[in-house]
Amino acid sequence: MDVRNNVRNVAIIAHVDHGKTTLVDQLLKQSGVFRANEVVSERVMDSNDLERERGITILAKNTAVMYNDVKINIVDTPGHADFGGEVERILMMVDGVLLLVDAFEGCMPQTRFVLKKALGLGKKPLVVLNKIDRPGARPEEVVDEVLDLFIELGANEDQLEFPVVYASARDGYSSEDPNVREGDMKPLFDAILKNIPAPSGDAEGPMQVLFSNIDYDDYVGRIGIGRVERGHLHMGDSAVLCHRDGTTANVKITKLYQFEGLKRREVEEAQLGDLVAVSGITGLNIGETICSPDRVEPLPFVKIDEPTVSMMFMVNNSPFAGREGKYVTSRNLRDRLFKEVETNVAMRVEETDSPDTFKVSGRGELHLSILIEEMRRQNFEFQVTGPQVIYKEINGKRCEPIELLMIEVPDNYVGAVMEKLGTRKAELVNMSARGNGTTHLEFKIPARGLMGYRQEFLTDTNGNGIMNSVFDSYEPYKGEIIQRAQGSLIVHETGESTGYGLFAAQDRGRLFIGPGVEVYEGMIVGVSPKSDDIVVNICKKKHATNTRASGSDEALKLTPPSTMSLEQCIEFICADELVEVTPSSIRMRKMILSKELRMKQAARKK
């Protein structure tokens, strides 16, 4: 067994917002990757527009730094459970993990989720307590929480002896002492070299590379990112690609790259343990192996968790179809969705009986809404239904996905939260006081019960609550859950909204649009406090008359409309409603636009 001491491969795993990307920024800055006068944006690893806007990591990224003549390959991973498929694959490429935990919040749902995956694959953990400079930080307690979590997840003795480094990624210092508030990242670099195992294997054996990620470049096509598990890899080598279905193909490596800082550098060869990017292999998919033609041995790949939520994507057939988007046909939609599945392993796309409708399944609402937002920015125009959970038949019983929900709220909002979650079939598992006037609640709740709850939660807690959830298990069906008690305000005719029409309609409910907006019959423009839908005429104009009373023309006072984001629209719609998505608009509508046809269908159902 050969060991390469001049390389370390490590992934940074953590809950959302615990500071993974900020920590990578500091490691890059302090290892001299950037020039002294170089202007570097914050969270430099979040390169995608959506990631920068939302402040979350969606795709795993590779980078590498040099420290004491050792090359440290670092992979920044997403924290949301919806992108868990990314985390699971990335762990195949590394030998150890930096488990980042917020010194104030402690262990959260994602901490449990990502740590469970890492321990299951036998990776060596190094715990970093971040944000120790945060007011109310409680490093000693959090270390105990982390230890309890390790024990609960069945860590072995070697994994339980985890080292701890205390850090503030924002201020750029780390230490083995929780009371130090200055310095640099040197103690963390030293801890990585000391505790993360070096890659080992057969350095002189026949070549074998496992690909855990795919990147795409418009000029060179697909780029496989993987790790050299055995032997050497050279540019120009001939190799055998082993597909997951057992078939093989002969391929040639045209270009070979390694990571250096934020760039890919072209190299002639790579050795055991190196993380490499390879171009020129057509038909390469995630989880496949290339081997030396002398010894064809595919490596097993991690089983990715199944999707739990599905939505229907359809060709837009509203009266405004084709006005704003560039790609509007079913062929455009089909090609784009099937291209997504090639790099997004946790997503599934199925064709349906209708050539214009596709069933897309993912790990959660966020997973699917990010895809919708990306397609919208790429000039696609289409419609989607609301999310539906995916049921499973287990031992003859109909089972549904259950989420573990963790909530932190100020004490005076606990009652409101418990009451709402009770109607959504949630079961309280744990409740503890956090000391600073907040309460920590843990529930098990059907995934159906969570849909549409986030907005209510923010309203009920005046924006002071924090909620996070992660998939827990499948359990028998919990019974009917009322998703939305209010009806919709529906447009009566196609036209343009007027201040006069909106003034008359605003007494019927809360509006989503202002004056001067083009609307069509059957479009949803507001929410009614009653359970029934109400048809409103918001296009009517005030007719002039010969005689006017002196006080009849006072200014109309309109209540400002509630603007709905894409996620809010997806959460809001009922089973008979759709969200129409175009590059410049997001509209909600009834599936059946005509009021008469809707009434006929309702009568038939009764």
Residues belonging to the binding site for GTP are 17-22, 130-133
CA 423 to chain CA centroid, Å, is: 27
Per the annotation, binding residues are 17-22, 130-133
Residues 6+ apart with CB under 8 A from 21: 43, 45, 46, 57, 76
User: Do 400 and 389 meet the contact criterion of CB atoms below 8 Å apart?
Assistant: yes
User: What is the rounded distance in angstroms from the CA atom of residue 183 to the CA atom of residue 172?
Assistant: 8
Give the 3-state secondary structure of residue 600: helix
DSSP of 391-423: PEEETTEEEEEEEEEEEEEEGGGHHHHHHHHHH
Amino acid 309 reads V
Structure-block tokens of residue 489: 């305000």
Alpha carbon dihedral 204, 206, 211, 212, in 10-degree steps, equals -50
Please write down the HEC assignment for all residues of 150-205: HHHCCCCHHHHCCCEEEEECCCCEEECCCCCCCCCCHHHHHHHHHHCCCCEECCCC
User: What is the rounded distance in angstroms from the CA atom of residue 149 to the CA atom of residue 155?
Assistant: 9
User: What is the rounded distance in angstroms from the CA atom of residue 300 to the CA atom of residue 48?
Assistant: 31
Structure-block tokens of residue 328: 């509007």
Name the residue with tokens 């790259």.
257
Burial of residue 133 (CB within 10 Å: 0-12, 13-18, 19+) is middle
User: What is the rounded distance in angstroms from the CA atom of residue 83 to the CA atom of residue 346?
Assistant: 8
User: What is the rounded distance in angstroms from the CA atom of residue 100 to the CA atom of residue 110?
Assistant: 11
